[in-house]
Structure 1
C-alpha cells in the first residue's frame, strides 16, 4: 500500500504509464523501454518462484528445529477454500462471518447459518480446523437492518462484541449455528473487538448458554497471544 506520495501524483495525466516500485518506494512516470526492463524481469522471476513454491505447497511445514507449524487460510465463504487447499491450507485460520450479514437488507435466517459453516469445513477436508470469528459489526461494516448511530469516525466507535451487546439477537443465532458444526472438535471461536474483560465475559456466558443447549462439554478458553 502506498501512502503519502505527495501532491505531485495529482498532476499525472490520465492514461500515462506508471511504474510503482513498493520495495524501493519509487514511482516512475512514462518510463522508458530501458526502465521497463527491470520491473518486467522482477515480475517474471516472481512468477517463477510462485510456480516452484506451489509444487511444495502440500508438504508439511516445519521450523528448522522440527517444530510443526499448521498452515491455515482465511475465508469468507466456502468457495474460498478451493484456493486455500490449492496452496496447501490445512484449515481455516479465520472464517469471516460478517460477509454473510453485511450485504443483506435482512438478517440471515437461522436455518441457513449452520450450513454455511459446515460447507467451509467440508471444503477444507478432514481433519481441518475451523476458526470462526464473531461479527465485526460496526465501524466500516454497518449492517443495513440495524439502527446504528452515525459516528464522526466510525473506526473509533463501538464495534464487534460491544455492538453485539446492544443486539444479542444477532450473536445468539450465530453461536447456535457454529455449535452445529460436525465434528464439533474442529471448531474454534475468536471473539472480535472486545475492549474490556466484561465484554469477553458477556460473550462467553452466551456461548456457554448455547453450548449447554447443544449438549456439548464445557469450552476451553485461551488468549490469542
Structure 2
C-alpha cells in the first residue's frame, strides 16, 4: 500500500514513458505486418480480376492498394518518430542526471571553499616544503657519514694489507740473512782437547830473567 502513495521520481516517470514507447513500437510493427499481408492479398485479387477482364473492379482495388501502401509508409514515419522520442527521453534523462551531479559538486565546492583558509593552506604548504627539505638534508648527511665510515674501514684494511706485505718481505730478508750469517762461536779457534802440561822451574826462571827480576 505504501508504494501506491509513494511520489514518483523522474527516473520512474522516464521508465514508464520508455515502456509506453516500446509498447507503441511493437504495436506499429504488428500493424505494418498486417498491412503487408493485406497488400499481398490485394495484389492477388487485382491479378484475378484482370484475368477475368473486370476493369472496374481492378480500378477500385488499385485505389485501395494505393491507400494501403500509403498507410504502410506512414507506419515507418510513426516508428521513426517513436524511436526519436525514446532517444530524446534518454538524452534528457542523462542531461538531468549530469545537471544534478554538477549541482551537487558545486555545493560541495562551495562548502569546501568556505572552510578552506587560503593563508593556512599556503602556510601548510610552506611548512611541508621546509620539512621535506630538512628531511632531505638529514638523509644526505647520514649517507655522507656512512660513506666516510665505510671508506675509512676500507682504508684500514688496505693499510693493514700493506703492513703485512712489508713485514712479510722483511721477514723473508731477515730469514735469508740469518740463514747466511755464521753461527755463534764459528771461526773461533777450537779449544784444545789435550790437557796443558805443567810449567817447569827452568821456564819460570827464564821468564823472570826476561822481566829483569834476578
- Higher RCO, 1 or 2 (CA under 8 Å, sep at least 6)? 2
Structure having the higher Rg: 2
Q: Is TM (by shorter chain) over 0.5?
A: no
Q: Which has the higher helix share?
A: 2
TM-score of the aligned structures, taking structure 2 as reference length: 0.16
Q: Which has the higher strand share?
A: 1
TM-score of the aligned structures, taking structure 1 as reference length: 0.15
